[in-house]
Amino acid sequence: MKSSTQDKAEGKIHKVKGEVKEIAGKISKNPDLETKGKEEKIAGKVQEKVGQIKKVFGK
């Protein structure tokens, strides 16, 4: 099982990658890339929250 710090770090990475993809999709007028970016950004936020919850419960 991943540590809380690792989950938070990976979540931030996914969030940033998602933001980059979303912006690239907007600039290139590629709705598929924009959507994938939004999805990855949301997944990153969720993973960050999982890391925060693990920290609270000491896992």
- Using the predicted structure, report yes or no on whether residue 9 has a pLDDT greater than 70: yes
pTM over 0.75: yes
pLDDT of residue 22: 96
List the chain domain ranges.
Answer: 4-57
Tokens 């999709």, residue?
25
- Using the predicted structure, report yes or no on whether residue 58 has a pLDDT greater than 90: no
pLDDT digits (tens, 9 = 90+) for 26-52: 999 999 999 999 999 999 999 999 999
Which pairs from 44-49 meet CB under 8 Å and 24+ separation? 44/10, 44/11, 44/12, 44/13, 44/14, 44/15, 44/16, 44/17, 44/18, 45/11, 45/15, 46/11, 47/7, 47/8, 47/10, 47/11, 47/14, 48/7, 48/8, 48/11, 48/12, 48/15, 49/11
pLDDT of residue 3: 86
